[in-house]
Amino acid sequence: AQSVTQLGSHVSVSEGALVLLRCNYSSSVPPYLFWYVQYPNQGLQLLLKYTSAATLVKGINGFEAEFKKSETSFHLTKPSAHMSDAAEYFCAVRGSFGNEKLTFGTGTRLTIIP
Amino acid sequence: DAGVTQSPTHLIKTRGQHVTLRCSPISGHKSVSWYQQVLGQGPQFIFQYYEKEERGRGNFPDRFSARQFPNYSSELNVNALLLGDSALYLCASSLGWQGATWEQYFGPGTRLTVT
């Protein structure tokens, strides 16, 4: 079975500072990993995905994540936070081909301090 | 192009009632998945349908059922509603087995409140 753990339910950073949201995964098979963002009263938007190609994945809105097998991590980063980045962020893992079930973490609420 | 659409946007039901939620996938997508998101938590997988067949089921009671129609739209049905069924219900569509994009696109959700 696959699972993800998001460390820190709330993260606050100043505008212009580095954003780091942590995600660790557990999977018995090579994982496919995703980061989604959810704005208030909206659905989920895909930020980026890891599907066993490059370990450094670039996504939308300046976000990127690095897959580290040795640390079973897939942390999300952005060099400079913007006010519009304030939202809930979810890490998710999917099993091998043929199973579309996404298992989500509990989420991290990102607050940007002006 | 239109994204995933869901209806209704909001719904208020009483305990014991039945509810039907609807989802239309992105044009060309043949796979639809349903998720339940309780306030303050991550989404939980309920069902996946591909080409009108159930391909996955999460850990939900039999009160939850779904189906997919020939046009690939989908319905989620919940019987004998409980207060704990209050949540945001999300639908996601993907190309499924047609392509290996691994991306699921989510709709805006239906907010269900059970009183």
Higher pLDDT, A59 or B2: A59
Q: Per residue in A32-53, pLDDT tens? A: 899 999 998 888 999 999 987 7
Alpha carbon B75 to chain centroid, angstroms: 7
Q: What proportion of chain B, given as a percentage, has pLDDT over 90?
A: 79
| Neighbouring residues of B64: CB distance < 8 A, sequence distance ≥ 6 | B46, B47, B76, B77, B78
Q: In the predicted model, is pLDDT for residue A101 greater than 60?
A: yes
Mean pLDDT of B63-78: 97
The tokens for A6 are 């998001």
In whole angstroms, give the CA distance from residue A35 to residue A98.
Answer: 20
Q: Per residue in A71-94, pLDDT tens? A: 999 999 999 999 999 999 999 998
Contact criterion met (CB < 8 Å) for B90 and A44: yes
Q: In the predicted model, is pLDDT for residue A98 greater than 70?
A: no
Q: Where are the beta strands (DSSP E) in B38-86?
A: 44-50, 53-57, 64-68, 74-78
**The predicted structure's pLDDT at residue A107:** 96
Query: Which residues of chain B lie closer than 8 angstroms to A36, CB-CB?
Result: 106
Query: Which residues of chain A lie closer than 8 angstroms to B33, CB-CB?
Result: 100-102
